[in-house]
Amino acid sequence: MAGTIKSRVRNSIAPKKTIQTPSSEEVLEMDAPASEFELYSQEVLNHLILDNLPPTPNNFSLYFDRLLEDKSENFKKEVISILELEDSNDNENTMELEKSIKKGFGHVKSILSSVATLYKNMSLMTKILEKRKAELHDKKDISEAKYILNLLEEDVNKLGNILKTQTVQIKTIYDETASVIRTVENETIFDNQYGIYNKRYLLSRIEREITQIEEFKHQSSLIFLELSKTLRKEIRNEKAIILMTKTLARLLLKTSRRSDIVAYYGNGMFAMLLVHTDIESAKKASERLCDLVTNSNFFLGDREIKLRIAIGVTNVTAIHSVEEIVVSAMTGIEEAYKDNKHDYSVSLRV
């Protein structure tokens, strides 16, 4: 019903437009000769109009990346070099901030650990002095030694009290800092282990994409993937599996577009949200990813290991919840293990 009302509003407004703007051909004629980059920008805008999408910066960026895949390698390199000069991604800045916060948190823990160790050593010194004092207690002609020991004991006690006070103060600061860090971590979008987005951010973006699809009727897809269970059973080396998983994360970033959301979901599973990408295009992306992974060498000692992955592909729809879409992609992974012809499986939510 809401969509119908919006449609009527648009139709009623459209006839009232009186401002005449030049067509793209007229603009190019006035500014000719146009560069290849300008022509491509106009092509992106034309596709947005044909798909009945508003030419917002976000939509333009998504189509800009998507259509770039079909261009020549030389043109891609030229465009990427231009984008790198002006790139100022807020999310990347947020990631760097989160890295700094977590690094500072590590320093705080190290300081407290050092203070605790120092306090233990001073406690041990006190016990040693008490033992020596007991050994000298019944001996004669050692009054001066006892006097010195008493003075030393007093000094150690004073130092111990100071250390106790300082430790309490540092612990209080530590607890406050830890509370702040926990609050920040609950709002983070970055997975510190793999250098990509985290589960919380992924789910929020899927939810946002569902809303966008309901409004503008475009198609998007979700890919879930993991290292092959068969491969993990063959390796049986936890450190090696962690290194392979990190390698997989780097490959995902390498093969993804700027508009794709690459995230770590947890339990060894990664996800890629492909915005404005239909199932057929998502399947092609899965095939390219499988080829990239299988052609990547991983060495464990003198042994060369071929990486293998399982991929589940599903569509993002406006009539299914985030949980249903995620489960659908996970189901695709399980189906991929049963398929001897492909490393991926499509699990549609229609």
| Res 91: pLDDT | 64
Nearest residue to 247 via CA among 280, 235, 98: 235
Nearest residue to 153 via CA among 130, 136, 172, 131: 130
In single-letter form, the type of residue at position 162 comes to I
Query: Do 265 and 202 form a contact (C-beta atoms < 8 A)?
Result: yes
- Give ranges for CATH 3.30.70.270 in the chain: 196-346
| Res 20: pLDDT | 45
| Res 225: pLDDT | 97
pTM of the model: 0.69
Query: Taking the CB of residue 186, how many other CB atoms lie within 10 A of it?
Result: 8
Q: What is the DSSP string of 20-82?
A: ----HHHHHHHHPSPPHHHHHHHHHHHHHHHTT----HHHHHHHHHHHHTTS-HHHHHHHHHH
Cα angle vertex 28, ends 25, 34, to 5°? 135
| Res 102: pLDDT | 79
The domain 196-346 having CATH identifier 3.40.50.300: the answer here is: no
SS3 letters for 101-138? Answer: HHHHHHHHHHHHHHHHHHHHHHHHHHHHHHHHHHHHCC
Considering the domain delimited by 91-185, tell me its CATH architecture.
Answer: Orthogonal Bundle (1.10)
Quickly list H helices, 186-304: 199-216, 229-235, 238-255, 279-294
- Give ranges for CATH 1.10.287 in the chain: 91-185
- State the Cα–Cα distance between residues 97 and 78, nearest whole angstrom: 30
| Res 272: pLDDT | 98
Nearest residue to 281 via CA among 218, 331, 327, 226: 218
| Res 179: pLDDT | 78
| Res 311: pLDDT | 97
Nearest residue to 48 via CA among 26, 70, 63: 63
| Res 19: pLDDT | 36
Size of the chain, expressed as the number of residues it contains? 350
| Res 223: pLDDT | 98
| Res 112: pLDDT | 82
| Res 224: pLDDT | 98
Kindly give the confidence (pLDDT) of every residue in the chain, 350 residues in length, as a single tens digit, with 9 standing for 90 and above.
333 333 333 333 334 334 344 444 444 444 544 678 889 999 999 999 998 889 898 889 889 998 998 899 899 888 887 776 555 455 666 777 777 777 777 788 888 887 888 788 888 888 888 877 777 776 666 677 777 778 778 888 888 888 788 888 888 888 887 777 777 777 788 898 999 999 999 999 999 999 999 988 899 999 999 999 999 999 989 999 999 999 999 999 988 988 899 999 999 999 999 999 999 999 999 999 999 999 988 888 888 898 999 999 999 999 999 999 999 999 999 999 998 888 999 998 76
Which tokens go with 105?
A: 């948190």
| Res 204: pLDDT | 94
